Amino acid sequence: GAGVSQSPSNKVTEKGKDVELRCDPISGHTALYWYRQSLGQGLEFLIYFQGNSAPDKSGLPSDRFSAERTGGSVSTLTIQRTQQEDSAVYLCASSLESWGNTEAFFGQGTRLTVV
């Protein structure tokens, strides 16, 4: 596609429910990143994919968070048993190679609200 696409754009869920957030990177981009942006805060790194593997999961805040990437393309971030502190905007970015070599482009984000 023309840019990084994320869905849904907004999600309201009840505390304790599971949610899945989707990211479609730019076609051909091998690197994919998930970041979280809480209200009034900067971006917090969650996970990095190179192809289908995730060499760095160090930013995932708890074992309720997981992510996968299939076919070197679409990625899904899953949050189980959501808590109110999970409310944030979840941003996905992709780059042709690792971000160290090429620019990363961000999607519009998914705004998650846990009530």
Partner 1 sequence: ELKVEQNPLFLSMQEGKNYTIYCNYSTTSDRLYWYRQDPGKSLESLFVLLSNGAVKQEGRLMASLDTKARLSTLHITAAVHDLSATYFCAVASGTYKYIFGTGTRLKVLA
Question: Applying CB under 8 A, which residues contact partner 1?
Answer: 31, 33, 35, 41-45, 48, 50, 56, 91, 98-100, 103-109
Q: How far is the CB of 76 from partner 1 (least distance, A)?
A: 19
| 83's tokens | 């808590």
Could you tell me the smallest distance in angstroms from the CB atom of residue 16 to partner 1? 28
Name 43's Cβ contacts closer than 8 Å, sequence gap at least 6. 35, 36, 37, 91
Q: Which is nearer to partner 1, 80 or 106 (CB)?
A: 106
Residues 3, 102: contact at Cβ < 8 Å?
A: no
Pairing of strands 65-69, 75-79: antiparallel
d(CA 76, CA 7): 10
**Least CB distance from residue 89 to partner 1, whole Å?**
9
Q: Which is nearer to partner 1, 80 or 99 (CB)?
A: 99
Give whichever of 14 and 53 is closer to partner 1, judged by the CB atom: 53
